A and B are shown apart, each in its own frame.
Chain A
Amino acid sequence: MCHAHPARRLIAALLLAVLPGVALAQVLEDRRVWPGTGERTIRVISTADIDVFAPFVERIAAERPDLGIDYAVASSAELHRAIAEGASYDLAISSAMDLQFQLANDGLARAHRSDATAGLPGWARWRDLLFAFTAEPAVAVISRARFAGRDRPRNRQDLIALMRTDREAFARAVGTYDVRDSGLGYLFATQEARNSDTYWRLSELMGGLDVQLYCCSAQMIDDVASGRLALAYNVLGSYAMARIARDDRLEILALQDYATVMLRTAFIPASAEDPEGAGAVLDAILRIGMRDDADALPLPPLGAVQGPEATAFGPIRLGPGLLVHLDRLNREAFLAEWSDAMLQ
């Protein structure tokens, strides 16, 4: 996922050029170091933007002030490649569950066992390797200005009917992930397609409306806020809610038929240099994930999927089923079908 601003990419590239010690094969989008009181620094690679993760660092520092945190942001594909190639990170955090699962399945994760991992619900961990700490739905975000005077669709059937009847209002004004680039977009698309044929009808309709494709949720939200887009489909709900809290031009469409819920997962790579420190940081993150107050942090807790807003399908299952969509043949077939629908 690339939530980063283009300017940030430039900074990251400059950083790489300036610091030969960080001459990594993968492209970092952003990086920040929070020093600890001790000498140990835990190297984290993550798909979450720095400002999303910063509140977590404060809470981790409250538990383990001695540990510094070196936080690098990368897209889920870059993260997957870095870990698969054995880059020495102590902790890998990603929203692309399937890629995370594949890394753990292929033996690139180190087992970690603690009170915090034992406290996780069964669906939020896979073996002692992969642990979930947020439950984040995919949502549809609309521009209030462009929806002024319209009834809000209550489900996807309503949405399809609305876009069909008013094609002009939505032409070039619908945005969604380019699943060829975005790991998270691909995960959302494949899971939704597996659960409901509505996805393909919606995709064909969006294709017919000359859909705008994005790499990242943040940019989609920006364009909805500015009014360039009337609707952004399958945006990361946590980012949208954080943005809506300070921007009243946006609104989340309450689609009641179903929702795809992603679990943000973390694991300690087998190549970690400080697995003990990584375990402490991971435990702190998992404890934050199991908190009860849903609103205090930008990323919602695991408990969000068990609340009254619990959705029809529940969170995406952490299991070997995730491998199916990563299969080369399956991916090719899916992308072909997706391209047929979206790029008419």
Chain B
Amino acid sequence: MTDAAASRPVAQKVRRPAAGQAAAGRAASPWGFSRSIGRRLTILLAGIAAVLALVSWAMVTSFARAAAERTQDGVLAASALSIAGALGSEQGNIRLELPYSAFAMLDAIGQDRVFYRVATADDTLTGYEDLEVPRLPRTAGEVVTDTIAYRGTTVRVATVTRSVLSGQVPVRIMVSVAQTRSGVDEIAAGLSRSAAALSVGFFLLATGLGWAAARNSLRPLNEIAQAVGRRGPSDLRPVQRDAPGELAPLLAALNRLMERLGASIRRSEDFITEAAHRVRTPLATVRAQAEVALHSAESEEVKATLRRMIRAVDESSRSAGQLLDHATVGFRAETLRAEDLDLAAVIRRVTDGLAPTAEMKDIAFSVSLVPAPMRGDAILLENAVRNVLDNAVKYSPAETVVTVTLERAGSAWRITIRDEGRGFGDAAVPQLVERFRRGANVEKVVGSGLGLTIADEALRAHGGTLTLSPGDNGVGACVTLTLPAA
């Protein structure tokens, strides 16, 4: 249709922000890291939890080992002290009977190998003669523990000293008790395993909580996004919402953008209205002059040229009218001014207005109306009906009838406009109807004309619908306008 080209800029202006948003959403880093703040937060929190879990595991492991080692030191010291306590002198000789408990208690930590040595400064009294300790306690009663290598393995050794009379001379006697560390290793390893299991549990819990926290903190953002996303294509009101402090600048920027966008749209609609007015008035003058010339012309050739001229002028004037209508509808639909009106009167005004054009093509109107009171914008409704009826007249061949019916259908008024023209084409009809019902497909509007778009927008502003269907017996087209009754 010829008015398709004119409709495009407006439609695209409305669509552009949405397309831009989608493009921004698709721009993602190769890590998928910046794609979602929620994921980023969750990963960061999980990373922190992992580090903390590792640190706590390492700490528990080292504490457990230290505790087990201290326990072993304690047992070794007790063993050495109990042996030292059994030292005595008998008739001037050093006497020692190892207490059973001194060795039996070494079983407490685990099944470890045991070595011991009781010696004076230069003589081993009993035990393992090659068990040498790196340092001795400075005072009696002090216990010195060391880790040393002995017989190819690592042992922990506790040493105490005690002075015993040998003859009349006090002799310093050293008691060392050593034990391998497999029991300590086992205890530490067992506790380390438990700590590892706990750390994994802690990590999983923290990750779960982190995920929940990320979701919770992003909820206001998602809510704003959803609120903006739910809006109709021409709803450019500012977003009024309680936003967290961090989102307030974004919201303010969004509202400023919408305001500028709205102003821009209004300016271009004003421009179109202005342009249409300015074009229509000179066109009317041209048409009148051409009519006059047609009547006075004698040559058939000139007459034909003038008729073509008049048709072209009509076409242009009609397009300009529709652009004007569209701008009007766009503006009025946004801020609907509802008043009591009679739909029948509205239809009557349209048929009366189009009657001269129809007569020129020998097209008759068959109008059947009932009084139909409702609330609405009379100018919008008139625009809607006129555009549909105008299409019907335009596509009807000469000497046919265009039927206009207004009737009550449940809680709605139904206006049916039938013509005997070429219809919508077989296959396209259901699709056309379907698309219109959705009302969001701009490409289809191009295909079926600005007239139907105007009608559709006006009806939807009133909560009504526009339905296209083939005419009876497959001849012509049938357009149904449904409007809720008052």
Contacts and interface: CB of A to CB of B under 8 A. Distances in A.
Interface stretch (A85-93, A180-188, A317-325): A317-325
Interface string B438-457: 00000000000000000000
B126 A329 contact: yes
Contact of A320 (B96, B114, B153): B114
Interface string B124-157: 0111000000000000000000000001110000
A328 B102 contact: no
Contact of A105 (B104, B113, B182): B113
A317 B104 contact: yes
B107 interface: yes
A333 interface: yes
Given A107-B151, A127-B111, A324 B100 contact: yes
A329 B153 contact: no
B126 A319 contact: no
Interface in A250-296: none
Interface in A108-130: 126-127
A248 B118 CA distance: 52
A324 B113 CA distance: 14
B111 A324 contact: no
Given A107-B113, A107-B151, A321 B126 contact: no
B127 A321 contact: no
Given A107-B113, A107-B151, A319 B104 contact: yes
Nearest to A334: B97
Contacts of B151: 106-107
Given A317-B104, A320-B107, A327 B98 contact: yes
B103 interface: yes
B169 to A, nearest CB: 20
Size bracket of the B interface: 20 to 34
A328 B98 CA distance: 10
Nearest to B114: A320
Interface in A301-344: 317, 319-324, 327-330, 333
A323 B112 CA distance: 13
B388 interface: no
B106 interface: yes
A324 B98 contact: yes
Given A105-B113, A320-B114, A321-B107, A327 B100 contact: no
B182 A330 contact: no
A317 B104 CA distance: 9
Contacts of B97: 329-330, 333
Nearest to A319: B107
Nearest to A322: B103
A126 B111 contact: yes
A69 B27 CA distance: 79
A246 interface: no
A117 to B, nearest CB: 13
A194 interface: yes
A329 B175 CA distance: 14
Contacts of B98: 324, 327, 329-330
Nearest to A122: B111
Contacts of A320: 103-104, 106-107, 114
Contacts, number: 54
A292 to B, nearest CB: 27
A107 B106 CA distance: 17
Contact of B126 (A126, A317, A322, A327): A327
Contacts of A322: 103
A72 to B, nearest CB: 27
Interface in A175-198: 194
Given A107-B153, A329-B126, A330-B97, A324 B102 contact: yes
B103 A321 contact: yes
B211 to A, nearest CB: 43
Contacts of A327: 98, 126-127
A337 to B, nearest CB: 10
A107 B152 contact: yes
A319 B103 CA distance: 8
Contact of A321 (B104, B115, B125, B182): B104
Contacts of B96: 329
Contacts of B127: 327
A321 B116 CA distance: 12
Contacts of A328: 126
A265 to B, nearest CB: 14
A104 B98 CA distance: 20
Interface string A190-211: 0000100000000000000000
Given A107-B113, A330-B97, A324 B103 contact: yes
Contacts of B116: 323
A333 B88 CA distance: 14
A194 B100 contact: yes
A104 B114 CA distance: 10
Contacts of B104: 317, 319-321, 324
B119 to A, nearest CB: 12
Interface string B308-349: 000000000000000000000000000000000000000000
Contacts of A126: 111
A95 B330 CA distance: 109
A194 B103 CA distance: 14
B190 to A, nearest CB: 16
Contacts of B114: 105, 320, 323
Interface in A74-90: none
Contact of B103 (A106, A107, A127, A323): A323
A319 B114 CA distance: 9
Contacts of B106: 319-320
B196 to A, nearest CB: 24
A317 B107 CA distance: 10
Contacts of B118: 329
Nearest to A321: B104
Contacts of A317: 104, 107
A324 B103 CA distance: 7
Contacts of B115: 105
Contacts of A107: 113, 151-153
Contacts of A194: 100
Nearest to B107: A319
A106 B100 CA distance: 19
Interface in B239-266: none
Nearest to A126: B111
A322 B104 CA distance: 8
Contacts of B111: 126-127, 319
A265 B237 CA distance: 93
Contacts of A321: 100, 103-104, 107
A319 B151 CA distance: 20
A329 B125 contact: yes
A207 B96 CA distance: 26
A128 to B, nearest CB: 9
Interface of A: 104-107, 126-127, 194, 317, 319-324, 327-330, 333
10 contacts: A107-B113, A317-B107, A319-B104, A320-B107, A321-B100, A321-B103, A321-B107, A323-B116, A329-B125, A330-B126
Given A107-B151, A323-B103, 12 more contacts: A104-B113, A106-B113, A107-B153, A127-B182, A194-B100, A319-B107, A321-B107, A324-B102, A324-B104, A327-B127, A329-B98, A333-B97
Interface of B: 96-100, 102-104, 106-107, 111, 113-116, 118, 125-127, 151-153, 182
Closest 4 A/B residue pairs (Cβ): A321-B104, A320-B114, A320-B103, A319-B107
